[in-house]
Amino acid sequence: MMIAANIISMTILFAVPLLLVAMGGMFSEHSGVINIALEGMMIIGALFACFTLQGLDQSGFGPAHPQLSMFIAILVAGVTGMIFSLLLGFAAINLKADQTIGGTALNQFAPAFAVVMTWAIQGQGLTTIFIPNWVRITRDTFGLAPVDGPSFWNNLIFKYFYLTTPVAIVLFIAAYIVMYKTRFGLRLRACGEHPQAADSVGINVYKMRYIGVLISGVLGGIGGMAYIIPSVSSWNFEVGVSGAGFLALAVMIFGQWKPFRIFLAAVFFALFKSLANIASSIPFLADLGWTQNMYNMIPFIASMIILAFTSKKSRAPKAEGIPYDKGSR
């Protein structure tokens, strides 16, 4: 039972950033802009969220108000991710540049920028940012007494419980409602399917595409924070976010650009990653003698196999990646 609790809690932990970032890509691509730069948005959001938490910790405000500080850091991650996404929006929408190349360039820029920023703030060669130990939600957060010894429910709920989890749930529900139950969502999807038709009924395609890209920046930035903060007590930004943004792209495609399918895909990939981390504690997996690196390969291998079989059935927005020219019909 304890192993099951650990698997479930760790799966949720890993699914949250994949879900957030993949939903960000969904908004951008439904507007008609391919967002390869999700990896870079994650790095930028996580970087400034870590700086924020570090500053709040040093000021004493963080330890005194841990969850309020986490909420502030989430806002900072979203805002900085959104600002970074403006670069993609300007290149893809205003300059009509190749969106794949533009996104790749931003992914190359983000880790270099993160290293420069960490050097500037912490000193040359210091690219590791330490994450305060008060960021996790514990039993004490709710005024509950500590539990003696192992507990199924304690492990399930509180072992990997961070504010990013309930925020991700709220954003997931909001994303579905916005995309499929509002006039805005209908207009956004129209711009990704047939922008000329959308323009003919008075929809500002440029504006809608910018909004789609900005939303992807917000979700990508928060997703970057959700990936780094719960994982370790410190993070070296020389490694970026270790390819999590590209895995989120696979989740988005596997999820057919639809919120509920993206959620299921995120859980699927997160389950494999959680097994990689706790395989040694599961008897039949430990007996296989596989190293952790082999288990870490499984999500990527699974994504390639699944996408190979499902890519022909995938139906991306028709106008994604095509710069909009108001004069063309």
Q: What is the CATH number of domain 2-133+153-310?
A: 1.10.3470
Cβ atoms of residues 228 and 48 within 8 Å: no
Closest CA to 110 of 17, 44, 48: 44
Number of Cβ within a 10 Å radius of residue 143: 6
> Could you tell me the pTM of the whole model?
0.92
What's the number of CA atoms in the CB half-sphere (13 Å) around residue 309? 5
CA distance linking residue 24 with residue 20, whole number of Å: 6
> CA–CA distance from 243 to each of 42, 113, 240 (Å)?
10, 17, 8
Residue 71's pLDDT band (boundaries 50, 70, 90)?
Answer: very high
Residue 276's pLDDT band (boundaries 50, 70, 90)?
Answer: confident
Between residues 287 and 60, the one the model is more confident about: 60
Residue 306's pLDDT band (boundaries 50, 70, 90)?
Answer: confident
Position 156 pLDDT exceeds 90 = no
Cβ atoms of residues 60 and 223 within 8 Å: no
Question: Looking at 153-157, 226-230, 242-246, which range is the least confident one?
Answer: 153-157
- Strand pairing report for 234-236 and 128-130: antiparallel
Q: Report the pLDDT value the prediction gives residue 285, as an integer from 0 to 100.
A: 66
Position 219 pLDDT exceeds 80 = yes
Percentage of residues in the chain with pLDDT exceeding 70?
A: 90
- Give the total residue count for the chain: 329
Cβ atoms of residues 230 and 136 within 8 Å: yes
Position 329 pLDDT exceeds 60 = no
Position 26 pLDDT exceeds 70 = yes
Question: Looking at 83-87, 110-114, 252-256, which range is the least confident one?
Answer: 252-256
3-state per-residue secondary structure call for the chain: CHHHHHHHHHHHHHHHHHHHHHHHHHHHHHHCCCCCCHHHHHHHHHHHHHHHHHHHHHHCHHHHCHHHHHHHHHHHHHHHHHHHHHHHHHHHHHCCCCHHHHHHHHHHHHHHHHHHHHHHHHCCCCCEEECCCCCCCCHHHHCCCCCCCCCHHHHHHHCCCCCHHHHHHHHHHHHHHHHHHCHHHHHHHHHHHCHHHHHHCCCCHHHHHHHHHHHHHHHHHHHHHHHHCCCCCEEEHHHCCCCHHHHHHHHHHHCCCCHHHHHHHHHHHHHHHHHHHHHHHCHHHHCCCCCHHHHHHHHHHHHHHHHHHHCCCCCCCCCCCCCCCCCCC
Distance spanning both ends of the chain, measured CA to CA: 61
Stretch 255-265: mean pLDDT, rounded? Answer: 91
Position 272 pLDDT exceeds 90 = no
Stretch 196-217: mean pLDDT, rounded? Answer: 94
Contacts of 235 by beta carbon, 8 Å cutoff, 6+ apart: 46, 50, 128, 129, 131, 228
Between residues 211 and 133, the one the model is more confident about: 211
- What burial letters (b/e) apply to 295-316, b meaning 16+ CB within 10 Å? beebbbebbeebeeeeeeeeeb
Position 289 pLDDT exceeds 90 = no
Position 149 pLDDT exceeds 70 = no
Stretch 217-236: mean pLDDT, rounded? Answer: 88
Domain residues of the chain, as ranges? 2-133+153-310
> CA–CA distance from 129 to each of 55, 72, 123, 126, 321 (Å)?
11, 18, 11, 8, 36
Stretch 190-203: mean pLDDT, rounded? Answer: 92
Q: Report the pLDDT value the prediction gives residue 284, as an integer from 0 to 100.
A: 67
Joined tokens for residue 168: 């991700």
Position 233 pLDDT exceeds 90 = no
Stretch 2-29: mean pLDDT, rounded? Answer: 90
Round the average pLDDT of the chain to a whole number and report it. 87
